[in-house]
Amino acid sequence: MKLFISADMEGISGVATNQQLKTNSEYQRFRKLMTADVNAAIEGAFTGGATEIVVADGHGNMSNILIEELDSRARLVSGNNRVMCQLEGLDESFDGIMFVGHHGREGGSDVAVISHTLAGICVNEMKINGKIVGETEMNSLVAGSFSVPAIFISGDDAYVREVKETLPDVEAAVTKRAVDRFAAELIHPEVAREEIRAKAEAAVKKAKTIKPITFEGPITFDLELKGSQQAKMTTTIPTVELTGPKSIRFTCNDMVTAYKHMWGCVIIAITATNGVLGSVNA
C-alpha cells in the first residue's frame, strides 16, 4: 500500500498564529512540531498496512520538514519550484492521499486557524466547476483524477468540519480548537499525535473502501483575486479571461492540466502584487 502525504503547517498541533510560521526564531520550533506530526501520521499509516510513503512538504517555501528528524521509512519532496505545487510526485501508483496539518479555506469558517486558499496574498475565492473549494478539496480532486482517494486529514476543528462536507469518509484527527483566525485552544502536541497515529492507522485500514472524488469532463476554474492588478496580469496566459475586475476564468480538458494552469495563474498573481519584476534583479 503506497501512500502520499501532503503536509502543511497551519493545522499542525501547537500552531495558533501565523507569526509562528515565518522565518524567525519561533519558526524553528514549529518546523520540529510539523515534522513530529508528519512522523505520527507515517507511524500510524505503517501500522495500518502502508508499505511505502512519499511526503510532500507544502507550506510556504515548501522546505520546512527536517529531513534528519523524519521517519526514515518515508521519502520527502522538498523545495519550492514545483509544477505540481503541493502534489509534486503524486500519480496513479498511489493507493491513498493523506493531509497533515492543513487548514480551512479563505472565506470559509471565520474561526479556522490561519484560513486561506493556497496564497493568502492573492486568492479570495476558488471555484472548480462552480463549487467553492479549499486546498484539501482541490487536491483531493486532483488525486481523484489519478483514482487516488483522500483518506485522512489533520487540523483544527473548523477545518475538519469544512472538509467533511465534501469528503465525509476521511478519518480526521483534530489537533486543536479554532478560536479565531489567529488564536486556538491547544492541546499538548503528544496528545494530538496520539490521535493522528490512531486515525492514520484507521484510515489506511479502510482506504480500499473510500471512493476517490472526481469531476467528469472539462474543468473550469473561477478565481476571485484580491487585487485587479493581479487578475489582469494572469491574462498574459491566452486561455485566461477576465470575468470581473478581480475575477478570472479558464477551462482545461482534465484536472491535472487545470491544476497546473491554476498554479501558474497564482504564481503570476503573487508576482504582480507590487508590480511584476519589481523585486527581481533581471
Binding residues for Zn ion, rule: CB under 5 A, are 8-9, 59
> In the Cβ-directed half-sphere of 223, how many Cα atoms lie within 13 Å?
35
Q: Which is nearer to Zn ion, 116 or 199 (CB)?
A: 116
Q: Which is nearer to Zn ion, 9 or 77 (CB)?
A: 9
Q: Which is nearer to Zn ion, 114 or 143 (CB)?
A: 114
Q: Which is nearer to Zn ion, 102 or 226 (CB)?
A: 102
Closest approach, Cβ 41 to Zn ion, in A, equals 16
Quickly tell me which residue has 527536517 as its cell: 66
Closest approach, Cβ 103 to Zn ion, in A, equals 7
Closest approach, Cβ 120 to Zn ion, in A, equals 9
Cα dihedral 44, 46, 50, 52 sign? positive
Q: Which is nearer to Zn ion, 64 or 230 (CB)?
A: 64
Nearest CA-CA partner of 110 in 157, 154, 155, 158:
158
Q: Which is nearer to Zn ion, 21 or 167 (CB)?
A: 21
Closest approach, Cβ 196 to Zn ion, in A, equals 17
Closest approach, Cβ 59 to Zn ion, in A, equals 4
Quickly tell me which residue has 491544476 as its cell: 259
Closest approach, Cβ 31 to Zn ion, in A, equals 13
Residue nearest to Zn ion (CB): 59
Contact indicator for 81, 33 with CB cutoff of 8 Å: no
Q: Which is nearer to Zn ion, 18 or 228 (CB)?
A: 18
Closest approach, Cβ 192 to Zn ion, in A, equals 17
- For the residues of 245-279, what is the DSSP string, one character each? TTEEEEEESSHHHHHHHHHHHHHHHHHHTT-TTTT
